[in-house]
Amino acid sequence: MKRNYSYIIGLMLALVISMPPGLQAADKPNVVLMMMDNLGWGEVGTYGGGILRGAETPRIDTLADEGMKLLNFNVEPQCTPSRSALMSGRHPIRSGTTKVVWGLPYGLVGWEKTMAELFKEAGYDTGMFGKWHLGDQPGRYPTDQGFDEWYGIANTTDESMYTTQPYYDPEIVKPPQIVQAKRGETPQPVKEYNLETRRTIDRELNEHAIKFIEDKAKAQKPFFAFIPYTQPHLPVLAHPDFDGKTGNGDFADMLAEMDFNVGQILDTLDRLNIADNTIVVWTSDNGPEEAPSFTGTAGFWRGNYFTTLEGSLRTSFLIRWPGKIKPGSISDEIVHITDLLPTFASAAGYKVPTDRMIDGVDQMPLFTGKTDKSVREGFPAYNGDNMQSYKWRNFKVHYFDQESMFSSPTRMNFPQIHDLIKDPKELRGLYGGTGGSATGVEQLTWVLPAVTYEVLKFQKSLQEEPPVPFPAPEPYMPKK
């Protein structure tokens, strides 16, 4: 009997050793988070775009069929705030990261605890390949805040246009760079970020991400791969392999390239036999561009980024986790970008910080079908330092009127209430709003005390834990 047990145990060990990496037992799922830059809700096929925008998106559409598609995933109105909310699980007003700035010290202070740091504490290897936009000084780079390696850009793709703009002076503003770094190292320039390398950067991000995934699969290490692509942020210029491919212009060419890049990541997971143990998320940090020549579309909704209209706040979101998330599932429940930090915690096993206020909530029960309701009912929508609106259930209460990134916000004399089911374009607010009759919606006044309670509760939390100031010194420590 002892010999039989020894034989069985030996055989089992031999089978485990001989298994390809993706088939070995693992108690920690890998996480691949792909984030587009300013991609509107209505751009890809599964959200009503695709061929209507000049290019089919079959790989992204298939990803939607393989997991869950959210119809009510919400972000912040600008790049830096959304990325801050993602990394910290906190509303940007708490972190002093409420707006995009140029030429000033900005970003997440070292005191903030990032998602990448939490993954590291749970035994994950972490890699980031793309746009950071959360600080461009020592102490605030990705490799200072939890990532083992980074290839990409510190700031925004606007910078790729600098060197070709009239009167550009490289002595005053140095040519922007694509950089790379290892954990704790000073980022080193790789090449200039200009209109030529703007076309090729997303392909390079994919190549670095795929190499990272391959290395971790071979080493049998759980990993967190964050791939914040630069497309379709202006200037929208596709890779040379896709330039002119669709015949429908630069934006359609970019859509085709974007879909191809997503497919390359998914194919890598399949090739390495790790797809079944990998959570894949595909989303966008903001609503669509509004700049001339580069305007995107929010599809069903109205508005562009730098406002708190639904077109700014709602973005596409797909999540796949084979065996855990039902294929083809769809939810219109409210989920916020701050929710990803605690949601990944329940899968990866890291601990959500308890020494600071965390605004995100664990949405894994919603994703896995254990409930059909979101844990949250709403959230405050800041644009810069002002709470311009509050979204609650299927209502939106606007305190400011701002239709465009090119217009100044105007405080309303009376809050405007919108029923997003009956008024998805946010045109018929109480007492007229931004145009239209209030007839038939007066009964919504009951929403005001309900939302006011939520607003006051949030404002009280800002008094209990004062926000990180802007600009903040580094190192920064909050006063006790």
Alpha-carbon distance of 319 to 328, in angstroms, equals: 10
Token pair of 30 as six digits: 């890998």
**Helix H or strand E encompassing 271:** helix 250-271
Contact yes or no for 181/206 (Cβ under 8 A): no
Task: Reply yes or no on whether 398 is catalytic.
Answer: no
Instruction: Considering the candidates 91, 133, 233, 418, report the single residue annotated as catalytic.
Output: 133
**Helix H or strand E encompassing 389:** strand 386-392
Angle between helices 250-271 and 58-66 (to 10 degrees): 50
Alpha-carbon distance of 268 to 246, in angstroms, equals: 25
Task: Reply yes or no on whether 79 is catalytic.
Answer: yes
Alpha-carbon distance of 213 to 129, in angstroms, equals: 12
Entry field: residues in the chain: 480
360: Cα separation from own chain's centroid: 14
The candidate with the shortest Cα–Cα distance to 108, out of 129, 85, 125, 126, is 85
Alpha-carbon distance of 133 to 145, in angstroms, equals: 13
Instruction: Considering the candidates 79, 208, 233, 336, report the single residue annotated as catalytic.
Output: 79
Paired sense of beta strands 395-401 and 410-419, if any: antiparallel
Q: Which residues are catalytic?
A: 79, 133
